[in-house]
Amino acid sequence: MRLVVSEFVTLDGVMEDPGGGETFDRGGWAFKFDRGPEGDKFKLDELMAADALLLGRRTYEGFAQAWPSIPADEAGFSQRMNEIPKFVVSSTLEQADWNNSTVMRGNVVEEVTKLKGEPGGDLLVAGSAQLVQALAAHGLVDELRLMVYPVLLGAGKRLFGDAEGTASFELVESKPSADVALLTLRFKG
């Protein structure tokens, strides 16, 4: 499987609380902009191409609280979110009750490396700042899909924080969609 990280991010790299459902005082910033039909297609296509989701505990808990109650939609997004296999990286979560969810314990790098070795398509990571940073630090990210919003927040969890090493990515695609930029980058090694 390929590990694909998909994030909403500001111009200054903040990824924290784009929807405003957390306690971050600057949360909800993504809803102040129009991502347009291409942006909607970008998100739908990546979810439909994924064989599984990989989530950190906080992101999982937020998704598990919201998605089961979201009605079915014509595009099939909500149905897919509820049906797709989900792997939750957590040392504290006792059980994962959301449909088709499994808690992963132990060494994150080893567990994710095993998942990546399984046959299949994409293993999609959304949100999950701490998890994404750990995966990137160990060279496990194959592709980044970023929806970049034209706003500076000045504070908040950043996508990569202060990384210890360097990593190079190749720009595969970039295009505007309404107010946002859609970027796809592949890890160069």
Name the pLDDT band for 162 (thresholds 50, 70, 90). confident
- Count how many domains the chain has: 1
160 or 45, which is more confident?
A: 45
pLDDT, residue 161, reads 79
Name the pLDDT band for 108 (thresholds 50, 70, 90). very high
Q: What's the angle, vertex CA 43, arms to CA 164 and CA 19, rounded to 5?
A: 70
| Beta bridge partner(s), residue 144 | 5, 185
Mean pLDDT of the chain: 94
For residue 124, the enclosing domain spans: 2-187
CA–CA separation, 145 and 32 (whole Å): 20
φ, ψ (nearest 5 deg) of residue 129: -50, -50
Assign 37 to helix, strand or coil: helix
Q: For residue 189, is pLDDT > 80?
A: no
pLDDT, residue 164, reads 74
Name the pLDDT band for 21 (thresholds 50, 70, 90). confident
φ, ψ (nearest 5 deg) of residue 20: 85, 15
pLDDT, residue 163, reads 72
pLDDT, residue 33, reads 98
Nearest-CA neighbor of 29 among 161, 177, 156, 184? 156
Name the pLDDT band for 186 (thresholds 50, 70, 90). very high
Name the pLDDT band for 167 (thresholds 50, 70, 90). confident
Q: For residue 168, is pLDDT > 90?
A: no
Which class for 79: exposed (0-12), middle (13-18), buried (19 or more C-beta within 10 A)? middle
State the DSSP code for 76: S
pTM of the complete model: 0.94
| Cα–Cα distances in angstroms (integers) from residue 7 to residues 84, 108, 141, 164, in the given order | 18, 20, 13, 21
Helical (H) or strand (E) element with 111: helix 108-116
pLDDT, residue 84, reads 98
CATH code of residue 69: 3.40.430.10
